[in-house]
Structure 1
Amino acid sequence: MQERIPSSKVIYMRRTGEYGVENYKLMDTFKKWMKENNLYDEDTVIYAIPMDNPEIVKPCQCRYDVCINQPQNHTFELNQVQRRELEGGNYLTFLIPHTTNAVKTAWKMCFSELEKLGYLLDKSRPVMERYRKTLVDRHYCELCIPIL
């Protein structure tokens, strides 16, 4: 499905290092922080964003962010999270099973699928994994590919 994701202010946690198991730990830490700050509910949408291509950037320098839109009228300590702007734009979104294998397969196949469907990758923006609680509860998530 093609969609436009709007730019937004987000709060996020970041880790730097090789992508893999540590990313899952960061997601767990972020979700725990969200629950402690009453930010985790039925409307929760978490983005997981690998900021660097490990084929270009040394794996030990790859950045990985997990974030949510900055809540309105909510105060919290910024000692564990940071704020930034999440650049929006046009995306091709794939609905995939929320399993490790399905996500890995989607990452391997998404670029060739993009080409088959006649879209061009926008290399200026990162690919994002999107975890809407309503979908995750049904064992699905989304892979959002930036397109021109």
Structure 2
Amino acid sequence: MFSVEEVPEFKVAYMRRVGPYGAGNQEQMERLKGWAAASGLLRDGSVVLGIAQDDPGVVAPEDCRYDVCLVVPRDTGIGGAGIEEAWLPGGRYAVRTVAHTAEALARAWAGLLPALADAGFRFDSARPMIERFAPRMVENHLCEICVPVT
């Protein structure tokens, strides 16, 4: 169900979208990939991340923030309209592979924290939960949910 991975700190270029989670997130991902391709940063092994910053059960859907990120080398200069840079903290993550469909992701997120607890993990709320889209996974219509744990 989960594997455990030690993830290093890494730099990302990102775009933030505010609004209900869903189809708009995919559109934002395509915009980021377009910028990355035009900037020479989108490569065969590029990893794209999605980070939901808010719990839609607590925050109104129109106020939910979703960051679409591209992992970039440490020395990469970031520039462009709407493109920001950030460092994501490393640490221990529980990783679950899921089908890359809206329905499968929704099901996985819905039962995620209880499943973690059942597997003996404790959620670390100081770090973000991440949807990871690595090329080898996306080619097989899969993605990974990475949850920070202690």
Query: Could you tell me which amino acid in structure 1 is paired with residue 116 of structure 2?
Result: L
Structure 1 stretch displaced more, 66-75 or 14-23:
66-75
Secondary structure, aligned partner of 2:145: strand
The answer for the alignment partner of 2:51 in structure 1 is 49
Structure 2 partner of 1:145: 147
Does the 8 Å contact 2:46/2:71 carry over to 1? no
Offset of 1:41 from its aligned partner?
A: 2.1
Question: 2:92 aligns to what?
Answer: 90
Gaps of 5+ in 1: none
Match of 2:19 in 1: 17
Letter of the structure 1 residue corresponding to residue 7 of structure 2: I
The one-letter amino acid paired with 2:109 is: W
How many residues align structurally?
Answer: 148
* AA in 2 matched with 1:95: T
- Say what the alpha-carbon RMSD is for the aligned residues: 1.7
CA distance in structure 2 between the aligned counterparts of 1:136 and 1:88, rounded to whole angstroms: 23
Per the normalisation by structure 2, the TM-score is 0.89
How high is the TM-score relative to the length of structure 1?
Answer: 0.90
The answer as to 2:45 corresponding to 1:37 is: no
CA distance in 2, matches of 1:58, 1:23: 16
Question: Helix, strand or coil: the match of 2:97?
Answer: strand
- Secondary structure at 2:6's aligned position in 1? strand
Alpha-carbon contact 2:20-2:61 (below 8 Å) kept = yes
Task: Give ranges in structure 2 of 5+ residues lacking alignment.
Answer: none
- Quick one: percent identity of the two aligned structures? 34
Tell me the residue number matched to 1:110: 112
1:17-70 CA-partner distances (Å, limit 9, x unpaired): 221221111111111212222222221111100011122222222111011223
Letter in 2 for 1:63: R
Q: 2:71 aligns with which of 59, 69, 72?
A: 69
Contact 1:42 1:134 in 2 (8 A): no
